[in-house]
Amino acid sequence: MRWTAIAAVLMVALAACSGDGKAAESGREPVLIGMINAEGIGRDTIVNTRRGTEAAIRYFNAERGGIHGRPVELRACTTAGTPEASADCAHRMVEQSVVAVRGGIDLGSGASLPILKAAGIPYLAGNPLLPPDFTTDGAFTFSPGGAGNAALADFAVTSLEAKKIAILQADDPAGKNLAEAFVKPALLHAGVAPGDITMHTEKVAAADLAAIVQAAADDRPDAIVVLFPPPACPRIMQSAHQLRVRVPMLYIEPCGAPEVLRAAGPGSDGVYFFGTVLNIQANQRDKDVLLYFEEIDEYGDGVDSTSVETQQGFAATMTVLNRLTTIEGELTPAAITASFKSAVDAPAFMSHPFTCDGKQALPSFVSVCNSHVRIYQFAGGRYRDVGGDWVSAVDPLRR
């Protein structure tokens, strides 16, 4: 580790540990940024969203001098995935006078976002998950989230030339929303006849997922779109392999994570999925990816650098911090909100440039600042960027 980096990290740590430490003595009070993230709710990798965020802040403080010479300090609050816990975290953010909140994975954002909005605190998130993440004024998200599945569905028709599609849908609100709001409309707009779209629904925790895969295969589709969360994806991939399903299978972004594909074994070969940030293997020569490789090892404190959540946490935080350095004058919540609202084709780390005019997605999705994703395939043990560029996730819904 570079000795200058070590010194800078120690100075920031001392400032964070003492209210009248070095930062206060020099007049460089820390910039307080909050974070709300659901941890300990069944998916161990969600913690990496926070750890990727922490790594980006350590790097920014040590090698970029913080924000105008002021160290950035993260005030993280973890939730149990309930509205009550999220509301409690939001109240803590207000009490601690943070200037902004980095949205992690917040499953109770319907309870937390109204509190932050009332306090005028901007919410800056990588991926929108729930309806309030898409529709709250004062929230800014740097990817289209689940809307990326519309791009995936459009890819199946326009690039894979599929004319008949089977959809495997988790029997829960998330699965139904992805199918009805994004996938089916995109398929219809791409010219697929309603009778050529078949639906198959099953519980995520069902003992036998092979049955739903076989049912979809019996439809003789040209492609299968899978709208199940990561815990079920390896089982579906394994079932497809054992049943010798030969048509392309397309999955949601989290199912393209390395740990999911490893668990699927040979069933992972050939699967497609979309990505909201650059894949670090398929796009390893990109300048942002090179910086990520270099700095995550130094400042990640042992976090899994291959985790999608780590990459998303690091990338979204770098996007936020880079934008904050462009603000002149006092870093207040109002100034930060104004800065993001005025952003037009602003650079985003490991992602497509963002514009926060409230018009980047569907009319009600005012929070979405970027509607572009990449389409990837995992084949022969490696990821490949099949399109080589960003594609819109909302154009297929507007046709």
- Superfamily per CATH, domain 3-144+283-368: Response regulator (3.40.50.2300)
- What confidence score (pLDDT) does residue 11 get? 36
Q: Where are the domains of the chain?
A: 3-144+283-368, 147-275+375-398
Domain 147-275+375-398, CATH among 3.40.50.460, 3.40.50.300, 3.40.50.2300, 3.40.309.10: 3.40.50.2300
- What confidence score (pLDDT) does residue 399 get? 66
Is 113:36 a contact under the CB 8 Å cutoff? no
Which residues is 271 bridged to in the sheet? 378
pLDDT tens-digit profile, the chain (399 residues): 333 333 333 333 333 333 333 333 345 899 999 999 998 776 667 899 999 999 999 999 999 999 999 999 999 999 988 899 999 999 999 999 999 999 998 989 999 999 999 999 999 999 898 889 999 999 999 999 999 999 999 999 999 999 999 999 999 888 898 999 999 999 999 999 999 999 999 999 999 999 999 999 999 999 999 999 999 999 999 999 999 999 999 999 999 999 999 999 999 999 999 999 999 999 999 999 999 999 999 999 999 999 999 999 999 999 999 999 999 999 999 999 999 999 999 999 999 999 999 999 988 999 999 999 999 999 999 999 998 999 999 999 986
- What confidence score (pLDDT) does residue 23 get? 39
Rounded to whole angstroms, how far apart are CA atoms 243 and 239?
6
pTM of the model: 0.89
H or E segment at 57? helix 47-64
Rounded to whole angstroms, how far apart are CA atoms 35 and 93?
8
* 3-state secondary structure at position 116: helix
Rounded to whole angstroms, how far apart are CA atoms 344 and 143?
15
- What confidence score (pLDDT) does residue 43 get? 63
- What φ, ψ does residue 104 adopt, rounded to 5°? -95, -125
For 328, other C-beta atoms within 10 Å of its C-beta total: 8
The answer to whether 3-144+283-368 and 147-275+375-398 have equal CATH topology is yes
